[in-house]
Structure formats: C-alpha cells, structure tokens
Structure 1
Amino acid sequence: MEEQVNRLVTKAWSRYSHGGIPINAQNMIPKYGLAQANETTTSAKLRTTPPDTRLMIAVSGIPGSGKTGLAHMMAKRINELYFAEHPSSPPIATSLPMDGYHFTRAQLAQMPDPAYAAARRGAAFTFDGEKFLRLVQSLRERITTESRDIYAPSFDHAVKDPVEDDIAIPTTCRAVFFEGNYLSLNKEPWNRAAALMDELWFVDVDFETARKRLIRRHVEAGIAKDEEEANKRAWRMIWLMGGRLWILGWMFRKLLRVSMILGGRVEDWA
C-alpha cells in the first residue's frame, strides 16, 4: 500500500511542480516506489497545473472506505515534498471533508417529511450540494494578488451540526484533496462539482472491512456507547449510503470518468 500511495503522491506532485519532483525531495520516497512513480508522471494523463490554479482532486467511497485517511495523507505528503524545497513557506496542500455540508437539524425539520429526513441523515439529499458546488467553484477561480482566503464549514459531532467558516483554505494553498461519499455521484449538483475537479478517485473496499472501521471509529469518537450500538450504526451507514455507491460504482467509472480506482487494506492509510 505504501508503494501505491507513493505513486499517487508523485503523480499529484508532478502536476503541481510542472513535470517532476525536486531532486532533494526524491530522498523522501522509497527507492522501490520511484520507478513506478516515474512511469505515472510520464503518462499521457498528466498535465501541468498553472501557478494561478489549484490542483483539485476528489476522493470518494463508501463510509469506512478510508477516503478521509487517504486525503489527509496525500495533503501531508505533498506538503513534505514542498517543505523539502521551501522549509520556511506555509503548506500548499490541504484535505477538505464534505461533512460540513450536512443540512442542519433545523433545516431537516423544515423538509416535507422531517421524520424521514432525520432517519436518512447522511443520504445525498440531506447534504447541501449547491452550497458545496459554490465552494468548489470559488476554489476553481484563478488565484490573483487580490484573492482572499476561502472558508468552508466543518461538522461538530458533539452538537450534530455543521460549524460555519471553520476550515480555512488560504490563497497559498495550491492543492486540495476533497473527500466525501458523494463526490463522484452522477446526480445534480454533485456531477457539476465533479466536472470542476482535475481528477476523481474512488476508494473501493469490501463492506466487512468498512464495517469494522466504522465500529472502531464510532466507539472511539463517543458516537456510540459500545460496539453493539456501533455495529448497528455501521450497518445503517453502509446500506443507506454505501450500498447505493457500491451498486453504482461501475457508473462512476463510465459516466464520470473516475481517474483511479483504489483498493487494498484501508488500514494502511486510515
């Protein structure tokens, strides 16, 4: 899995750095990963990213697939490569979850069937996709000397609602790794946001692995009081949200041109 991540990091870095990683930064990648990584950087898919443009990659998958960990790791590794050449500079990469785009509980209560909306919270229609699209559009705009930092909401599990303007994306940030369940969904407005991405990645994982990860996550975060409750919650998340994504996975590749299907042991990047 480390080798696969190395290839992804090198591919993303090559697009930022116009064709290759800095010589000093090559020491940060294990030798066994460089050969295949360089093959990736020379593939026909790669193109340069202008200095006034952000590299934007969306990582999607079912709940518990490891997409959050992968997005975080990608941003971390890109920053390490950049710091090797610019040790005094601010980070250039960040990961950005779509969790903050949940409709609030108050908004769900205003829907035609509030009970159904509350029970299905986490499904695509319980997210403010239009608001997320506006964020993606603003990040896709050219960066100029007059550009300002952009802010996105986070999600507070303690209060079970989003926190506005909690995540800063500064003008110095040139690579954004979005992560969320529906970033490859072929449905308005998600497909419009997807069309603005440089690449779409889908993390493919079996349900059992995802279930075990969700149980551990919910117990550790205090979302569930014990493993029994966490297990029920995990199955609900997988079938209500992940099940549809799993069934439509082949459509993602066909209709939204997913750039990459990632598999393996999600524990390696979770």
Structure 2
Amino acid sequence: MTAKTWRDAPAIEAEAFVEAVLALPQDRRRIVAVAGSPGSGKSTFADWLCDELLRHRPGEVAVLPMDGFHYDDMVLNARGHRPRKGAPHTFDAGGLKIMLDRLSSDAEDEVAVPVFDRSIEIARAGARIIPRSARTIIFEGNYLLLDDPRWAPLRSRFDLSAILDVPEAELRRRLTERWIGYGLAGDVLTEKLEGNDFPNMRLVLEQSVAPDLRIVFEPA
C-alpha cells in the first residue's frame, strides 16, 4: 500500500538507512534524496551519511546540497523576495532538475556544483567538484518532496528518498537557537522566525509527499 503522507512512510533508524543505500543496485550512478524541514539537521545528516558510506565504498560518495541553488540576492531584491530567502520560490528548481539530469547521465569526468556559503549568505558557483568516481550522490534539501509543480520533476531522478522526522517543538527550538547564535534578538528575531523560518517549516511538514522511508529522530 502506498503511503498517504510522509508521516505514513516506513520508519527507519539512521544506521539502517546506511544499509538501505548500500543495498541499491550498483549498475549506475544513484541519487539518494534526503529531505526535511529547516532545522531538521539535513546537512549534518548528509555529511554523516556520506562518511558512513565512504567507509564501505571509498571515493564513491558525494553530497549535493539544494541550498547552492538559491537565487542570488540581486534577483531576490529585484523581485521583492529577499525577506523570504529560503522559501521555495527563492530557489532555482529548474536548475536543480538540470543538475540531476547531468549527474544521472554520467557522461562527464567531473561536474562542478554550487555550494551555499552561510557566512556571506551567497551561493558560490562551482565550489564543489563531483567526480565520475562518485557513484552515490546524497541530495539534501528542504523541498525535495514538496507537492508543487516546480519541484515535482526532481523526484523522477531519485533512486531512494527519505525525510528526517524531527518533532515540531524541537525544530522550533533549533531554529530559534540558530538565530540567537547569529546575534538576533527581540523583534528582529521574531520577524525572522515568524515571517520566514516557521512558515517554511510548516510548508515542509504539511505539503511534503511520501518518501520511501522516514528517518526518526528524538530530541537529545
């Protein structure tokens, strides 16, 4: 029976997900999608997963972050979207699809991908090289499972998909602490959370389609 929502997807622990990735067919390059709300720890999990997989298959794993496909601030400012940076419409979803097509075709010795530099809030073009030797690509981001016409085409390239299941109260705590750590407080902090981060969080929680698996995390 097909899962109705992402919450109905089969639950799995992080270590078991490593085995699920290793069990994928080895006849071609594989795209493993890891989605989750802002604050769910996608980047940290993707890096951990990469390290675990590299222990079994040295040199054969790479990470592709969705955040590298943010529109530049020049575009966002011109469109009046800068305050909502991080929302689905502030990403080049079409560019992501083309990048997945390019990686899946496996026709190049190396592919340069952009990486978001949080210290300057800008994506750096060609900041990471994915070589042909990388047979498993871990694709991580908030909206990979979003039930939206701009994002749905990405899913046809996924060989395995998962969402990080973190309680909403924990997500709110993490997002609040993140911005406090960057020095935000008072009305500025409230606007950042209520005007952008929390709406993006709710969008992922309420409008993500079912993945193959659901990776469950409890607060530490």
Same fold (TM over 0.5): yes
- What's the Cα RMSD here? 2.1
Structure 1: runs of 5 or more not aligned = 16-47, 84-90
Tell me the residue number matched to 1:60: 35
Deviation at 1:201, TM superposition (A): 0.8
Identity %: 22
* Alignment equivalent of 1:225, drawn from 183, 186, 200: 183
Q: TM-score, normalised by structure 1?
A: 0.70
Q: 2: CA distance between counterparts of 1:235 and 1:260? A: 30
* Alignment equivalent of 2:125, drawn from 156, 160, 164: 164
Greater share of strand: 2
Q: Contact 2:50 / 2:62 at 8 angstroms: preserved in 1? A: yes
Q: Contact 2:64 / 2:140 at 8 angstroms: preserved in 1? A: yes
Q: 2: CA distance between counterparts of 1:181 and 1:155? A: 14
Q: 2: CA distance between counterparts of 1:240 and 1:128? A: 19
Secondary structure of 1:185's counterpart equals coil
Secondary structure of 2:63's counterpart equals strand
Aligned residue type for 2:75: Q
Q: Contact 2:88 / 2:143 at 8 angstroms: preserved in 1? A: yes
**C-alpha distance after superposition, 1:133-173 (max 9, x if no partner):** 11111011035xxx221011111223222110001111111
Q: Cα gap change, 1:149/1:239 in structure 2, threshold over 3 Å: closer, same or farther?
A: same
Q: Contact 2:84 / 2:195 at 8 angstroms: preserved in 1? A: no
Secondary structure of 1:261's counterpart equals strand
What are the residue-to-residue correspondences of 1:68-79 with 2, within 5 Å?
Answer: 68-79=43-54
Secondary structure of 2:149's counterpart equals coil
Deviation at 1:94, TM superposition (A): 1.8
Q: Contact 1:214 / 1:230 at 8 angstroms: preserved in 2? A: no
Structure 2: runs of 5 or more not aligned = 1-11
What are the residue-to-residue correspondences of 1:1-270 with 2, within 5 Å?
Answer: 4-15=13-24, 48-50=25-27, 53-83=28-58, 91-111=59-79, 114=80, 117-143=81-107, 147-220=108-181, 224-226=182-184, 233-249=192-208, 252-253=209-210, 258-265=211-218
Higher relative contact order (CA 8 A, sep 6+): 2
Deviation at 1:248, TM superposition (A): 1.8
Aligned residue type for 2:45: L
Tell me the residue number matched to 1:29: none
Deviation at 1:175, TM superposition (A): 0.7
Q: 2: CA distance between counterparts of 1:109 and 1:236? A: 17
Q: Cα gap change, 1:82/1:218 in structure 2, threshold over 3 Å: closer, same or farther?
A: same
Corresponding residue pairs, total: 208
Q: 2: CA distance between counterparts of 1:235 and 1:178? A: 27
Deviation at 1:209, TM superposition (A): 0.6
Q: 2: CA distance between counterparts of 1:68 and 1:266? A: 17
Q: 2: CA distance between counterparts of 1:126 and 1:266? A: 30
Q: 2: CA distance between counterparts of 1:49 and 1:234? A: 42
